[in-house]
Structure 1
Amino acid sequence: MKFVARSGRSDKHSLRFHLSMLCKKRSPRRRPCHKKLAPRLLLSLSLFTNGTSTTVIPTNTTANVTAEFASNLTPIRLIVANDCAESIWPGILTQNGAGPGTGGFELTPGASRLMFVSSNWAGRVWGRTNCSFSSDGSEFGTSNGLDGNATACLTGDCVGKLNCTLAGRAPATVAEFTLQGGSTDNQTFYDISLVDGYNLPMAIIYYPSPNTTWIPPNLTNCACIASAGYLSSSPYSSPTAPLDSASYLNTNSTYPMPFEPIQTNNTVQAWCPVALQVPATNPVAAGDNATIISNPDNGNPLTPHRAPFQPCLSPCAVTKNPADCCTGPYNSPDVCKPGLYSRSAKRVCPDAYSFAYDDRTSTFVVPYETAGAGWEVRFCPRGRSTDILRTFGEEVQAVGAGTGLSLEGWARVRSWAYIEQRETGWTGAGMVVRGSAWTAVVGLVVVMV
């Protein structure tokens, strides 16, 4: 996916909207105000012993380490990596705990940056594209943003600043983290979110501490790839799949990864509703369902009348309508329901948040660790979107609860046949998570506002 040249939009995007998106209460899970974060490494060494995996986190990256280097207050490694063909400018927002000491920086193709955060950190990481900053990053860029005003980046912009102090402007694919949550503060929650739209493929990789090496990587390492050029052919999770699938997302032949099996490089150019493409090709009125569904191109393969895929805005970013934003009278999972954008996003990225109350099929949980663990946020991974929560929902529940897997669970996470059976039955419409106790697991996080 080549980052496109800028073009103008007439929609206004105010500081007030930044703040409302940041502080929106979206979930009975009770997470911190809005969302979370992640890391990357250049090289990793995986050791396999008796069916378990131990990942050694490297310290040699291509960018400088932040000032809080491995202090007692910041024992958790956070790595951000760029596998894109062009430079990106990651944005980082800390919502709780000690952050990495920076809110943004440039990351050239193939580069990564090692940082450290506290074990109670909560925040979010996203990538900005097509940016232009002053030499010290302190002033607005010189190019026009989506609303015609002076902003620094086409997507994910932080009010024109290199060092982000607010949530990035839509559209942006976001990694969200709450490292210490749950009713007894003994769980870590994380996810990939498309609630603010989509601009870049993303993966989150968990590097366990010595206490959590028993957790299989095919229950923790998720990816969302909804851009042509980064999508590998399907089937990707089978013994005859391409060789790179054997190590993609730090998985291995012992623990095969379940992937979304249907999308192609043609279909991922057409998943974004036409009215939400960047730049938008036709106007949108309030109410995503009424306006966008009427467009005959929605959900269809690329046609001569449809522009090639660009970053995709969320309905909320375009209409500001409470029904699209799950705000006001719609601030409840009983009232706010997925629309066309959410359903389309879920088809291409089954493990990603597609709207504000998409908790059951989008939230990953691991036991909380005070030190030794690490996280990677990787932009533009090449492979396929994962389908972990639909396939192994019960097993992810058990990991998050700290109870370990049952014998049947261990058998399932090691079974190619089980994954292929689940993939064969996938219709692309709606997600079903096995295990009725999931709500009890994700309903324990406490929101800090």
Structure 2
Amino acid sequence: MDNSLWSGTLILLFLSFGTLVYGNHPFTVINRCSQTIWVGTFGDDDIPAGGSFKLDPNQRQSFTAIRGWTSGRVWGKTGCDSNGRNCKTGEAPRGGRTTLQAVTLAEFGLDKWQGMDFYDISLVDGFNLPISIKPTGTKGDSNCRVQACNFNFGVCPNNFKEYGPNGQIVACKSACTATREDQYCCPSSRVPESQCRPSQYSEIFKRQCPDAYTWAYDYKDSDRNCRGNPVSGYEITFCG
């Protein structure tokens, strides 16, 4: 066989094998809430499922995220119109990340340091829906496990509460979202980690959800990591 033809065959076999073994990461999102939610997605290099999709109570939907997904985010939006817009919580520019809103975030960085996936639940912006993240098809140590967060709106400071049209509390802002002050936001470009500490307000969230990110440098208690076996996936459940 011609050497160039043989080399081409090997490349095709390698690519085919890589596609089978190292395919995209499967995600499943489940809505256990009593209300319809719209799920937002975002990533610096991939926006899965078109950036948003609707889930009625007890519905689920699956999508895939690319290998090496960076700054991956999944969150729930509530009180939206029939097109998934004008939401009471979790609204974002079409195809964009949430910004300065009280919303519970599931965050992912896939296939990063030594091929590990990193994931966390973030309350740095606030809380709007209970959430859990369950790794699937993974292997790793005790740090590769289910992460979950629920929150009692009764402990939310009154000036941090967000209300729906019927007067019910729909979200609790973080101190950063509510005030935009550096002492609570700790922007990394201006405030080094040594000068950024948790606040009395972030501690409210920490007591409710000990495993969650509650301030800018809360990674020591909050990061989880897994390795695919052979390809990792994640199940995200709202209100479950």
Q: What TM-score comes out, normalization by structure 2 length?
A: 0.81
Q: Which residue of 1 aligns with 2:137?
A: 208
Q: Which residue of 2 aligns with 1:158?
A: 92
**Structure 1: which 5+ residue stretches go unaligned?**
1-70, 142-151, 227-267, 281-306, 382-449
CA distance in 2, matches of 1:375, 1:349: 20
User: Offset of 1:329 from its aligned partner?
Assistant: 7.2
User: Offset of 1:165 from its aligned partner?
Assistant: 2.2
Contact kept, 8 Å, 1:191 with 1:362, in 2: the verdict is: yes
Q: Which residue of 2 aligns with 1:92?
A: 41
Q: Which residue of 1 aligns with 2:16?
A: none
| 2:236 paired with 1:352 | no
Deviations 1:398-448 (A, max 9, x none): xxxxxxxxxxxxxxxxxxxxxxxxxxxxxxxxxxxxxxxxxxxxxxxxxxx
| 2:145 paired with 1:220 | yes
* Structure showing the higher strand proportion among its residues: 2
RMSD: 2.5
The ranges of structure 1 where at least 4 consecutive aligned residues each deviate by more than 3 angstroms after the TM superposition are 71-74, 307-310
Q: Which residue of 2 aligns with 1:104?
A: 52
CA distance in 1, matches of 2:34, 2:193: 39
Contact kept, 8 Å, 2:41 with 2:49, in 1: the verdict is: no
Q: Which residue of 1 aligns with 2:158?
A: 274
Contact kept, 8 Å, 1:170 with 1:197, in 2: the verdict is: yes
CA distance in 2, matches of 1:200, 1:339: 22
User: Offset of 1:317 from its aligned partner?
Assistant: 1.5
Q: Which residue of 2 aligns with 1:390?
A: none
Distance 1:107 1:170, change over 3 A: same
Q: Which residue of 2 aligns with 1:52?
A: none
Contact kept, 8 Å, 1:81 with 1:111, in 2: the verdict is: yes
Contact kept, 8 Å, 2:153 with 2:172, in 1: the verdict is: no
Distance 1:366 1:219, change over 3 A: closer
Q: How does 1:236-251 map to 2 (within 5 A)?
A: none
Identity of aligned residues (%): 33
Q: Which residue of 2 aligns with 1:65?
A: none
Amino acid at match of 1:224: C
* Structure showing the higher helix proportion among its residues: 2
User: Offset of 1:196 from its aligned partner?
Assistant: 1.0
Q: What TM-score comes out, normalization by structure 1 length?
A: 0.45
| 2:11 paired with 1:127 | no
Distance 1:82 1:269, change over 3 A: same
**How many residues align structurally?**
218
3-state DSSP of counterpart to 1:312: strand
Q: Which residue of 2 aligns with 1:39?
A: none
Q: Which residue of 2 aligns with 1:180?
A: 111
Amino acid at match of 2:158: V
